[in-house]
Amino acid sequence: MGSSCPEVSQPRPRTACRTGPRRPCRISGGIAAAGRPGARGETPGPSGGSVAVSPESPMDSRMDPAVSAVRLTVREAVHTLSSSEDGDRILSTLGSLKRYLGGAENPALPGEQEEFARMHFSALLRCLVGRLSPAWLELLPGGQLEAPWASFFLEGPADQAFLVLMESIEGMAGPSFRLMKMVQLLAQFLGAGRVAAVMESQCWQLAEPAFPLLQETLLAKLVGLPDHLGNRLQRENLAAFLPQNYFPLLGEELLRVLQAVVDSLRDGWDCSISFLSQVLGKACVHGRQKEILGVLVPQLMALTQGNCLWQRVCWRLVECVPDRAMEALLTGLVEAASGPEVLSRLLGNLVMKSKKARFVMTRKILFLQYRYSTPMLQSLLGYLAMDSQRRPLLVQALKELLETWGSSSAIRHAPLPQQRYVSKAVLICLANLREAELRDSRDELLASLMAGVKSRLDSSLPAVRRLGMIVAEVASARIHPEGPPLRFQYEDDELSRELLALVAAQPVADSPSEASPAVAPVAAEAPDRGSTEGGGVPAQAEGAGSDLDSDDDLVPYDMSGDQELKSSKAPAYLRDCVEALTSSEDWERWEAALQAVEGLIVRSPAATREVSVELAKVLLHLEEKTSVVGFEVLRQRALVAVVVTDPAPVAEYLTSQFYAINFSLRQRMDILDVLTLAAQELSRPGRLPKAAQVGSPSPASPSSSTEAPAWRVVVEERIRNKTRRFSQHFDRPLVTFDLLGEDQLVLGRLAHTLGAMMYLAVNTTVAVPMGKALLEFVWTLRFHGDAYVRQGLLSAVSAVLLSVPTARLLTDLPDELLEAGPWLADVAEQDSDEDCRVLAVKALLLLEKLKDTLLPLTPP
Amino acid sequence: MEKMTAPPPNMAASPLPPPDPCFVLRGAQSAVHALHFFGGAQGQVHPLLLSGSLSGLVHIWSLQTRRAVATLDGHGGQCVTWLQTLPQGRQLLSQGRDLKLCLWDLAEGRNTVVDSVPLESMGFCRSSILAGGQERWMLAMPGRGNDEVQILEMPSKTSVCTLKPEADAKPGMPMCLELWQADSSPRPLLLAGYEDGSVALWDVSERKVCSRVACHTEPVMGFDFDSQKARGVSGSAEKALAVWSLDEQQALQMCRTHELTNPGIADVKIRPDRKILATAGWDHRVRVFHWRTMKPLAVLSFHSATIHCVAFATDGLLAAGSGDQRISIWSLYPISTDSSTPLLGHTEGGELPEVPGPWSLHFLHKAGFLS
């Protein structure tokens, strides 16, 4: 805070000019008061106005006769107190000293009181602490000494008393009677509300020289009290000193001081609240926002409601917080405030005044952190939107947010929760901005939005794509309302509903009342529709016990499934089916053929083998010509059935086609899906007997022992294909389509597919060479930029570890595994994608397990 | 057997999902073309279900154990198209496409063909009987000529007459027959559905057509007649059901048609209590209608091939036999036991042998019912 800080001034007419040096963070009451009246007797000590407390050096005070009189009296008293064993004498000495604290029936002169408080009070207190012992207190019976003794701490100048208390508690070694007495006294001190007095005393010291050090110490002791006491007392700590009890108390005391400040401002007195700001800031830095703000914010919320003075005090309180505490305080405030209005009332235009605050509010919370809840974001951005001065900041924030949202590097490297957070912030900004404001920077916004949509839709992670779609729809509608609306097809889910709710404006409020009458007639009609045409409602109502009634108990079942039958057109032979699918212009026949093809394949494996490759080709190139229900599924299942029936040639055909040029993304993905599903089906022995039964209807005791080799042969044959494919993969320069560039989605799916194949190849002989090839494949791609690809690679590694026999792993693949370890550890620690990290950890665990089982074997 | 009633549909606004079959009988090992419930009147004992299959076998199913308790092989591997038990003597009539009508003796565990009647028509027409509990009974079956119906007196097998349409009528082959007797007069009457889609009422004793009404544009595949209400319903290869009635002057009149989703009805049956009717659809579905209002009540999807036949038991159980070799059993809209309305005549099969207790396999053996 520089001296540029504007002062908050009392709205009263200024009748006098202020004297004395201007200090930052001073609130001026408008009247330069000389000598505060004793009405504020609660705050003794150096409480004078700026004129009364003119700089005085110790030299000057020695010259003053009144001053030296005080000194003599105190010196004598201290001597008596420290040496006398006479209880009555001590008591009377204490009584005589009590005069200087004021409030007694025979108080000392104000000048003397002041002198006593400034020069001698601490020394006296230290002396009192020094004398404290069980024997000393016993000098007079009935604890007569204890009350006057304690009253010096509780009634004297609070700041000095507090310091001496803390100092003596810290200085004492080990648990002792004196320590416990002092601790109890401190608890009494806190309970008596003296903390407020400590802080308040700092508010009036406008012109005191050389007090920063004192303030610094006070600040440290005030905020660090729970720590100090905790360290000192260990297990004997009192409940009052626990942070969860102390900081709420501190908050309440702060409020009391603020109340006093407001009162004195109203009376026209200057005061400074920088000390309060420091206390608040330091408590927040100590991580006690919840405790202290939990008390402060609700009260301030109520007090600032419609009260300008309170508002200004509150603003000032926040403004004067040191920069290093600003972030802790602001995040705490945003969290504790219940909405943008409250935040605006508490902070004022803080973001315009404090650079640090602006940085925290518009950059740190939005871009550098993402742990805050949606309501927090809403109150923060709502706060920016509530004042015309602050609105440019909001526009700026939106621009930057959109830029981040759309940056392809951020999309790739930022964790998903953060992307979600930024998306939410974008939508909240949009909801808060007016159309005119958006229009002014439309081009810029649209440019970053479009770039972002493009890079998001390119991503292979569904969640990222989905965020892109939702935000793009909403943002384009807001930024460019005249344009054609952007519509994506995404399924409604919790996230999309939450995001859309953020932009849903208030005008929806009256819609339910409109909706309810519209619903009512429908509900009323429904039963009518259900009744029979013959019986009719009146007949039912009359309850005529005629023949008519008895017939009406026959209520129809649901007959919606009664549709026209198309099976008459379905081909009965596979060749007809192929022909119908390729050349038929009769769409009903085409549909029927599509629906029948899987059944035909399963039913006649021999016929399928004759045409298998041709059939696979037809199915792969099949386009959805009519809107058949479940076209994709039908086609996929048919393809899987073909592969399962005749694995070797069909799989070879499909794998060769995977690298061909003239295929769409969809077809390539289909190839991979079909291969995975077919491998799964082939590797499951339970499936095959069923198929065999269809082929040969004689159920001649299907013993599993005879079946098992059959499927295993098929799988091995299949897997051999796959291994051949790997070698192909590395022989090819991969230029046929851009697998390593644009088509990262296919690459990712390929990696997943290979992993699945590997997993399904467990217990086969080809598992070892296959695992070797797969690890090589993984190794070349391990630093791929796309998270989906990396996920595939990591699952492939796990599949290798699971499928290849442990003994073979170490004999055949030792180098690969050795290399994989550090890489996996690195991914598990540093990858930006959470799924990648989890997968890497799983692979690491497998690797560790492997090492555990093999290490005992290796030494001999 | 436990109660096999579907939960009563309540009056809630949203309709209940279509019901599932109570159970399914598998093991016919070929398409089921004929079904007939046997016994079980008034819920005293559990009925048996007879089914005729494409491979010429007749299976007798216990509805308690849900297993076939006996298999009758009498049609030389040719399709069994019609099954009917006689009211007395535990006798079964089965019609096969081997051009034979067999009369089986099932009493006391026998299952032998005691008699057979040669058929002279290769068509799909199912025969019909009129048996009032006396020794002698009447049988109507497709005759030698393409459009003829032959009436025999049984068990003597003497030909009573041949019903031949007038020369200019040309109704085509008879497709389905039903002999019945009005309450008012003892004269036997015959309802016949023809290939041209018409239904004709014959006065058997006078050998003349009383009335004829064109119901369909396609051949009539099956019909059922409610003699008490003098109303019938017929299904054909086309996409509609026809409801017709018979007035006092014995004239047939079209009442209404009911459109269906898919064409082709193989069989129609009205439940004995005349509340509902069921149709066997070529579209693999059984449709259930309210008989009085013809309001659709349910579409039962279970089978995966054409349904050839449906049958109701006296206790309300519904069976459907399909080309997918399965017989599904359904329980819909339970019959109220206090219903005083007389049951339809034609489903009242023969009384079962007096076997005490439940119809277990054990009891069937003990009673000598099985071979």
Mutate which of A558, A568, A595 to disrupt the B interface (most B C-beta within 10 Å)?
A558
What residues pair up with B232 in beta bridges, in sequence order? B225, B244
Segment A629-665, tens digit of pLDDT:
788 888 888 888 888 888 888 888 888 887 777 777 7
- Sketch out chain B's domains with CATH numbers: 120-254 (2.130.10.10)
Tens of pLDDT, residues B27-67: 889 999 999 998 754 444 667 899 999 999 999 998 888 99
In degrees, rounded to 5, the angle at the alpha carbon of residue A181 between the alpha carbons of residues A175 and A182 is: 90
Element (H, E) at A43: none
Question: Which structure tokens are listed for A623?
Answer: 């386009």
A528 touches chain B (CB under 8 A): no
Mutate to test the interface with B, among A548, A562, A563, A588 (most CBs of B within 10 A): A562
Q: What's the mean pLDDT in A717-746?
A: 49
d(CA A761, CA A713): 12
Q: In B, what residues contact A, Cβ < 8 A?
A: 8-19, 261-262, 275-276, 283-285, 290, 292-293, 295-299, 301, 333
Answer yes or no: are the C-beta atoms of B234 and B193 closer than 8 Å. yes
Q: Which residues of B touch A697 (CB under 8 A)?
A: none
User: What is the model's pLDDT at position B57?
Assistant: 94
- Judged against a pLDDT cut of 50, whether residue A577 lies above it is answered with yes
Chain A: nearest CA to B279, how far in angstroms? 14
CB contact under 8 A, A561 and B18: yes
pLDDT of residue A195: 84
How many cross-chain Cβ pairs, A to B, lie less than 8 Å apart? 73
> Is the ipTM reported for this complex over the cut 0.85?
no
- The chain B residue lying nearest A566, using CA atoms, is B283
Please give, rounded to a whole number of angstroms, the shortest distance from the CA of A566 to a CA of chain B: 9
Q: Which residues of A touch B295 (CB under 8 A)?
A: 532-534, 554, 556
Q: Is there a contact between A554 and B297 if contact means CB atoms under 8 Å apart?
A: yes
Q: What is the share, in percent, of chain B residues with pLDDT greater than 70?
A: 85
Least confident of A117-121, A192-196, A809-813: A117-121
pLDDT, chain B, mean: 84
Cα–Cα nearest to B141, from B88, B186, B103, B90: B103
pLDDT tens, A24-50? 445 554 433 333 443 333 433 443 333
Q: What is the mean pLDDT of residues A130-149?
A: 76
The answer to whether residue A112 scores a pLDDT higher than 80 is: no
pLDDT in the model for residue B269 = 95
DSSP characters for A493-531? -HHHHHHHHHH--GGGGGHHHHHHHHHHHHHHHHHHHHS
- Of the candidates A214, A222, A282, the one whose C-alpha atom is nearest the C-alpha of residue A253 is A222
Q: Are A504 and A457 in contact (CB under 8 A)?
A: no
Nearest CA in chain A to B291: A551
A565: contact with B, CB 8 A cutoff:
yes
Look at residue A119 in the predicted model and tell me its pLDDT: 74
Q: Is the pLDDT of residue A854 over 70?
A: no
Q: Which residues in chain A have Cβ-Cβ distances shorter than 8 Å to B11?
A: 527, 530, 555
Report the pLDDT value the prediction gives residue A857, as an integer from 0 to 100. Answer: 56
Residue A355 confidence (pLDDT): 86
Phi first, then psi: what are they for A48, rounded to 5°?
Answer: -75, 165
Lowest mean per-residue pLDDT among A309-313, A585-589, A694-698, B357-361? A694-698
Average pLDDT over residues A742-760: 81
Nearest to A558 among B15, B262, B290 (CB): B15
Residue-level pLDDT at B323: 92
Residue A559 touches partner B, C-beta closer than 8 Å? yes
Which tokens in the block code for residue A417?
A: 């929760």
Give the Cβ contact number of residue A544 at 10 Å: 12
pLDDT, tens digit, for every residue of B122-142?
Answer: 888 999 999 877 788 899 999
Contact A486/A472 with Cβ under 8 angstroms?
yes
- What sign for the dihedral angle of Cα B328, B333, B335, B340? negative
| Minimal Cβ distance to B290: which of A554, A558, A559 | A554
Looking at per-residue pLDDT, the higher value among A86 and B171 belongs to B171
At residue B13 the predicted structure's pLDDT band, cuts being 50, 70 and 90, is low
C-beta separation of B54 from B31 below 8 A: yes
pLDDT for A220 beyond 80:
yes
A82-96, A693-707, B164-178, B226-240: the lowest-pLDDT one: A693-707
User: Closest Cα of chain B to A600: distance in Å?
Assistant: 15
User: Taking CB atoms and an 8 Å limit, are B17 and A527 in contact across chains?
Assistant: no
Residue of A554, A564, A565, A569 to mutate, testing the B interface (most B Cβ within 10 Å of its Cβ): A554
Q: Which residues of B touch A534 (CB under 8 A)?
A: 292-293, 295
Q: Which of A381-390, A796-805, A846-855 has the lowest mean pLDDT?
A: A846-855
Q: What is the mean pLDDT of residues B315-341?
A: 83
Residues from chain B contacting residue A561 (CB–CB below 8 Å)? 18, 299, 301
Mutant choice from B14, B290, B300 vs A, greatest count of A C-beta within 10 A = B290
Give me the mean pLDDT over the B81-96 stretch.
Answer: 87
Determine which of A548-557, A657-666, B307-316 has the lowest per-residue pLDDT on average.
A548-557
Average pLDDT over residues A435-444: 84
**Residue of chain B with shortest Cα separation from A529:** B13
Contact A601, A638 (CB under 8 A): yes
Set of chain A residues whose Cβ sits within 8 Å of the Cβ of B19: 557
How wide is the angle at C-alpha A29 spanned by C-alphas A25 and A34, nearest 5°? 105
* Residue partners of A663: CB distance under 8 A and separation at least 6: A657, A737
Q: How far apart are CA B303 and CA B11, in angstroms?
A: 28
The pair of structure tokens assigned to A453 is 């949509």
Interchain proximity A556–B17, CB inside 8 Å: no
Q: What is the mean pLDDT of residues A318-322?
A: 87
| C-alpha distances out from residue B354 to A264, A827, B43, B357, B361, Å | 114, 83, 14, 9, 15
Range in A177-191, A509-523, A762-776, B296-310 the model is least confident about: A509-523
Give the DSSP per-residue string, A629-646: TTHHHHHHHHHHHHHHHS
Report, as an integer, the average pLDDT of A615-622. Answer: 86
pLDDT of residue A781: 81
Residue of B nearest to A550 (CA): B275
Q: By the CB < 8 Å criterion, does A508 face chain B?
A: no
Cβ pair B16:A558 closer than 8 A? yes
- In the numeric block, the tokens 């009573």 are attached to B160
Angstrom CA distances, B39 to B50, B95, B349, stand at 11, 20, 6
Q: What is the pLDDT of residue A73?
A: 79
> Are B101 and B80 contacting, i.e. CB atoms less than 8 angstroms apart?
no
Q: Which of A40-54, A415-429, A754-768 has the lowest mean pLDDT?
A: A40-54
**pTM of structure:** 0.53
Q: Tell me which chain B residue has its CA closest to the CA of residue A547.
A: B292
The answer on pLDDT for A196 being more than 80 is yes
pLDDT for A508 beyond 80: no
Contact criterion met (CB < 8 Å) for A556 and B276:
no
Q: Say whether A530 and B16 touch across the interface (CB within 8 A).
A: no
Residue A367 is given by DSSP the state I
Q: Which of A122, A119, A133 is nearest to A165 (CA)?
A: A122
* Contact partners, residue A44, CB within 8 Å, separation at least 6: A101, A102, A113, A117, A156, A157
Give dist(CA B280, CA B268) in Å, integer: 6
Alpha-carbon distance of A818 to A810, in angstroms, equals 10
Q: Is the separation of the CB atoms in A512 and A464 below 8 Å?
A: no
CA atoms within 13 A on the CB side of A678: 29
How far B25 CA sits from the closest chain A CA (Å)?
20
Distance from CA of B77 to the nearest CA of A (A): 21
CA-to-CA distance for B265 and A36, rounded, in angstroms?
Answer: 112
Q: Is the pLDDT of residue B172 over 70?
A: yes
Whether A91 contacts A148, CB under 8 Å:
yes
Range ranked top by mean pLDDT from A393-407, A723-737, B318-332: B318-332
Counting Cβ atoms within 10 Å, is residue B361 exposed (0-12), middle (13-18) or buried (19+)? middle
Residue B18: cis peptide before it, omega within 30 degrees of 0: no
Q: Name the average pLDDT for chain A.
A: 74
Best of B283, B291, B304, B331 to mutate (most A CBs within 10 Å, chain A) = B283
